[in-house]
Chains A and B, each alone.
Chain A
Amino acid sequence: MWGLEPSSRKTASSRDILSIVTLSRIRNFSIVAHIDHGKSTLADRLLALTGAMDPKKAVDQVLDSMDLERERGITIKQHTVCLPYRARDGQEYTLNLIDTPGHVDFSYEVSRSLAACEGALLIVDAAQGVEAQTLANFHLALEAHLTIIPIINKIDLPQADPEGTRRQIAEILGLNPDDTIAISAKIGTGVPEVLEAIVHRIPPPPGDPAAPLKALVFDSFYDPYQGVVVYVRIFDGRVRAGMPALLMSNGRVYEVQQVGVFRPEMRIVDELAAGEVGYLTAGIKRVADAKVGETIADANRPAAVPFPGYRDAKPMVFAGLYPVEDTAYQSLRDALEKLRLNDSALTYEPETSLALGVGFRSGFLGLLHMEIVQERLEREFGLTLIITSPSVRYRVVPTAGETVEIDNPSKLPSSGEIDHIEEPYVRASVFAPTEFMNPIYRLAQDKRGTHRSLEYLGKRVHITFDFPLAEIIVDFYDRLKSISKGYASLDYEFLEFRPSDLVKLDILLNGDPVDALSVILHRDKAYEKGKTLAEKLRAVIPRQLFEVAIQAAIGSRVIARETVKAIRKNVTAKCYGGDITRKRKLLEKQKEGKKRMKQLGKVEVPQEAFLSVLRS
């Protein structure tokens, strides 16, 4: 007793609580919403109210623990936390909360989180109303047969419209308007009601603690000290250290080393029993060995039927990653390998470019995912990278032979060998106030979209389109936001491959094609794109000792041409005693800048040149 810190006393008592929980006192739920509607902020409030977080240590969106999440103010990975809660009925409950990302690139994180739950808090921003991912996530929750608690958030905002939002929830989602809870996650209004609703509306988990172990892996991450840490939801039975764990998909057996819960830091417990959510470690070396969707059983008493498993998150967007300095290839490989440990959606394989040397063709879920990977590679691993223009995966049906899939424009066979090319289409769903319909239709037309459906929802519309994926990965979302003053929202999912009139646009510098700058695009857009590309390159390629001709060409036909004039003079007129140090420092600085330049033949091309292709 003496010397016990208040916090460790609390630890002891909460561990006691944990050991006496029975199934009826457990609630497992995810928080889902459109991006920025306040999921992580609500999670903060729930942590604070249940005492899981010391208010003095609290920071905003405490579960967003990655640096990048904190900087960008968004959630990228799901975050799990176990909350002890004494309800108004006087009983102690264990609430397992899973906060999910809202961005469409990471929607697979949502589905896997839902699989570990019986309920979902569906948050809707009272100032924004129902948006595209509100609907998408609502459907995911329905498909997972979860109890949904609709929550209207941000009612403290002056522009909040809780009544209108309640109507939308009823009309668009078909939920009972009386079931909504209006809250402000920021200032805390209504949050106690959310906790009570979780206890009373979400059913306790089913399951039998006495049955053979059956646990679902819903996430994992790699820890350099403990190996893979596996997030599990126990459906039947119990798991404790020392047990032989069988991974049912591959038949491998590992000895469980540690089981625990997230509070939100990892805390060891004696065991996890049916209905509970937590983690285990078992000396698993690679994340790929304990895939999301895996069923874990007791090797001595295997469960009968495994879970159906998960489809892997499939990359949709591909780009070449090249180190600016050729010598950094090995470091890039090591860095990608490390990132991949925790990011199973990231794929990469070696590729060579005539222009850029050796690098990796990498696959991403979307452009945000790509940016995040690039940022982490540069920041955490000190690499300087060139990223080639992102491409989708095309199906090339040749005049003779097998259909091939290509994700690198420079690999496209010559037009004579191609019968036709197919490109991936997505079904996109757009929510917006009615007044923005016209510009949205214009944008859709510009992006080769075909209209599918239109639904009026009071002052707003829900429109669906089919788009070539290639048209919406780059600047579609930004343009949609800007033409709708930020009010339109977008969600999309893969639909099918469809034949298209596609061509390859090449960029030539002083007559030499630069493979890394080639893009595949629709014939009707090639001229416009070739022109803007050439112009952009002219703007970013610095003047050199000789004239640089920039050409955009389809096959042998040049469709646009620009020139970067040769530099006339670059000289320091005066360099006497006092000037020497200053001069050398200046040159040293310029040399530093040159590190971001890639030598293509004799032409020096800055890293931005590749970015400008990406952004045009």
Chain B
Amino acid sequence: MTPGAPDLKPSQTGPLGVYLHIPFCRQRCHYCSFNTGPYRPAAMERFLSALLSEIDLVGEARWAGGVSIGTVFFGGGTPSLLEGDEMEAVLNRLRKRFTLAPAAEVTVECNPESLTRDKAEGCRLAGVNRLSLGVQSLDDDLLARLGRLHSPVEARRAFNEARAAGFDNLSVDLMYGLPGLDLARWESAVGEILAWRPEHLSAYALTLDEGSRWASEGVAGLPDEDTVTAQYWALARLARQTGYEHYEISNYARDGFRSRHNQVYWRAEEYLAFGPGACGFLGDVRYGNVKPVERYCAMLEAGSLPLGTHEVLTPGQREAERRILGLRLTDGVPLPWLKDRRPLIDTWHSLGLLEIAGGRCRLTEAGFLLSDSLFVHLL
């Protein structure tokens, strides 16, 4: 390990999560600020071998053999650009270096246009058991405005093909608060998606993140705060009526289908990260790999870990993160974690933003909407 590098080592005994970042897309969406670049087969090939060597390098750590992996998440970028055998190679490398739990949840993020029936089957054969489909909208012109490459019809086709390939755990990503999206169109889109009966649904209000095209150029027709809030409530209502649990600020699931991987984050559990810009959490260290794909590959080709940044959390920061992340879940946190914030909790309680039951404290759906106003006091 290079001088000044942190001592990376898991401290928890339970299984870890693994995040794999696939940094390529065919085209950049206008709202996107993720670490992704244009897809080129040659670049993908070079990246994949770097990724495998990264797994090898981390796998050389003395603790690696004893580590069991409970969840794997291929995120991006567009992981569905990978072929089934490529995913398999990556998973095999993980199996070789660590222990992949037999019931591990293995998710791949997919864009509809790159998810064919063959691809879906390839995924299954590779050991993937959950797909997350980036549908975003069911509106032809909205999808075009977002800079997405698929149509609503294609999204539906991809969903059906995933089902046909045998996936019984499917998630759909949606966006609201989009330019020109009114409440009626949103409600009908949500109704239609819920009728597909995905096991899981994530819905995010649009944010203009730094680094995205819309953040720098601006975008016309954004709905006002009241409309966005109404869209949040419409979704919450429709999801409840159709049997979905609103288990995290932006996430809904049918019984037993919460995202196990994402709960690793919200429970402040530890996870490994591979790929450019991927962030991991081990012991009390949050770390991130270098972001540029070129540098990432070059470092690994030179035999060194592509570590970019890291921060050793103080016990206070760890505690704060646990509270803040835990309250994103409808499970909330044990009441004693907030015992020194009594007046604040009372105020939130009296305003109906927070509930206390069974020795736990949790945000209500109204509380979710204002959660950052609470979190700032929980640091």
A580 within 8 A of B: yes
A356 and B369 CA atoms in complex are apart in Å by 31
Q: Identify which of residues 205-246 in chain B touch chain A, using a CB-to-CB cut-off of 8 Å.
A: 205, 207, 225-226, 228-229, 232
B311 within 8 A of A: yes
- Knowing A569-B369, A577-B265, the reply to whether A545 touches B379 (Cβ < 8 A) is no
Instruction: List A residues at the B interface (Cβ < 8 Å).
Output: 545-546, 567-578, 580-581, 583-584, 587-588, 590-591, 594, 602
A448 and B321 CA atoms in complex are apart in Å by 58
A133 and B249 CA atoms in complex are apart in Å by 65
A-B contact pairs, 23 of them (CB 8 A): A545-B373, A568-B229, A569-B205, A569-B228, A570-B369, A570-B370, A570-B371, A571-B205, A572-B372, A573-B207, A574-B250, A575-B266, A575-B325, A576-B265, A577-B19, A577-B265, A578-B278, A580-B279, A580-B325, A581-B286, A584-B324, A587-B376, A594-B377
B252 within 8 A of A: no
The answer on a CB contact under 8 Å between B265 and A567 is no
Instruction: List B residues at the A interface (Cβ < 8 Å).
Output: 17, 19, 75, 204-205, 207, 225-226, 228-229, 232, 249-250, 262, 265-266, 271, 273, 277-281, 286, 288, 311, 317, 320-321, 324-325, 328, 347-348, 351, 353, 368-373, 375-377, 379
B75, B320, B328: the one within 8 Å of A575 (CB): B328
Q: How far is the CB of A24 from chain B (nearest CB, A)?
A: 73
A sample of 9 more A-B contacts (CB under 8 A), given A545-B353, A569-B228, A594-B377, is A545-B348, A545-B370, A569-B225, A571-B249, A571-B369, A572-B372, A577-B271, A577-B280, A580-B279
The answer on a CB contact under 8 Å between B265 and A580 is yes
- Knowing A568-B369, A578-B277, the reply to whether A573 touches B250 (Cβ < 8 A) is yes
List chain A residues, Cβ under 8 A from B225: 568-569
Q: How far is the CB of A146 from chain B (nearest CB, A)?
A: 62
A546 and B373 CA atoms in complex are apart in Å by 12
The answer on a CB contact under 8 Å between A573 and B324 is no
A575 and B17 CA atoms in complex are apart in Å by 16
- Knowing A574-B204, A581-B279, the reply to whether A587 touches B324 (Cβ < 8 A) is yes
List chain A residues, Cβ under 8 A from B371: 570-572
The answer on a CB contact under 8 Å between A578 and B229 is no
The answer on a CB contact under 8 Å between A570 and B372 is yes
A567 and B370 CA atoms in complex are apart in Å by 8
Look across to chain B and name the residue whose beta carbon is closest to the beta carbon of A594.
B376
The answer on a CB contact under 8 Å between A584 and B320 is yes
Interface of B is mostly: mixed
A583 and B320 CA atoms in complex are apart in Å by 12
The answer on a CB contact under 8 Å between B379 and A584 is yes
The answer on a CB contact under 8 Å between A590 and B328 is no
List chain A residues, Cβ under 8 A from B19: 577
A508 and B378 CA atoms in complex are apart in Å by 29
- Knowing A545-B373, A571-B372, the reply to whether A584 touches B321 (Cβ < 8 A) is yes
The answer on a CB contact under 8 Å between B265 and A575 is yes
The answer on a CB contact under 8 Å between B286 and A546 is no
The answer on a CB contact under 8 Å between A591 and B325 is no
List chain B residues, Cβ under 8 A from A570: 369-373
A58 and B321 CA atoms in complex are apart in Å by 55
Q: How far is the CB of B155 from chain A (nearest CB, A)?
A: 20
Look across to chain B and name the residue whose beta carbon is closest to the beta carbon of A587.
B376
The answer on a CB contact under 8 Å between B325 and A571 is no
A546 and B262 CA atoms in complex are apart in Å by 32
List chain B residues, Cβ under 8 A from A575: 249, 265-266, 325, 328
List chain B residues, Cβ under 8 A from A577: 17, 19, 265, 271, 273, 278-281
B229, B271, B281, B320: the one within 8 Å of A569 (CB): B229
A76 and B266 CA atoms in complex are apart in Å by 57
The answer on a CB contact under 8 Å between B379 and A578 is no
List chain A residues, Cβ under 8 A from B278: 577-578
Q: How far is the CB of A30 from chain B (nearest CB, A)?
A: 55
B226, B280, B379: the one within 8 Å of A591 (CB): B379
List chain A residues, Cβ under 8 A from B205: 569, 571, 573
A545 and B345 CA atoms in complex are apart in Å by 13
